[in-house]
Amino acid sequence: CGFKIAPCPPGNICRANDPACTRGENCLGTCTRAPPRPTYQPCGGFRVDPARTCGEGYACVDNPFVSGCGMACDWPGICVKVKGAPFCAGFVGKMCPDNMYCIDFPDDGCSVDEGGADCMGLCI
């Protein structure tokens, strides 16, 4: 796998053969089973009965694992850990570890939708 020409089958990820390769999907790799995706507590939205809030050190964000317009359309969000979570994106373009997704960092006052190309993200 790798080089954007040989994707892995569903449920697998491409791990770089050379750990020094930091070009993501442009690295020659081997398909391996993806680690299980973590589960998240639902929050926000009116469909969660009763509407739940997140605990200390967590933030309620739109669920990136489902399609749609998120909490703006009354769908529940998910609680994600803010303190101690790995950062991603920003001006350095930092990638998330395997099987994690980069989402907009909640409540930082920076939005990629409003011209903030260097906004930091949060790996979930």
Locate the domains of the chain by residue range.
1-34
Residue 15, SS3 per DSSP: strand
Residue with tokens 């317009």: 69
Residue with tokens 């020409």: 5
Q: What is the pLDDT of residue 48?
A: 52
First to last CA, the chain: 24
Neighbours of 60 (CB within 10 A): 22
Q: What is the pLDDT of residue 112?
A: 61
Q: What is the pLDDT of residue 79?
A: 92
Q: What is the pLDDT of residue 113?
A: 63
DSSP of 68-84, one letter per residue? S-GGGGT--EEEEE-TT
Q: What is the pLDDT of residue 50?
A: 61
Q: Over the chain (124 residues), what is each successive 10-residue block's mean pLDDT?
A: 79 84 77 84 72 85 82 85 81 76 78 67 85
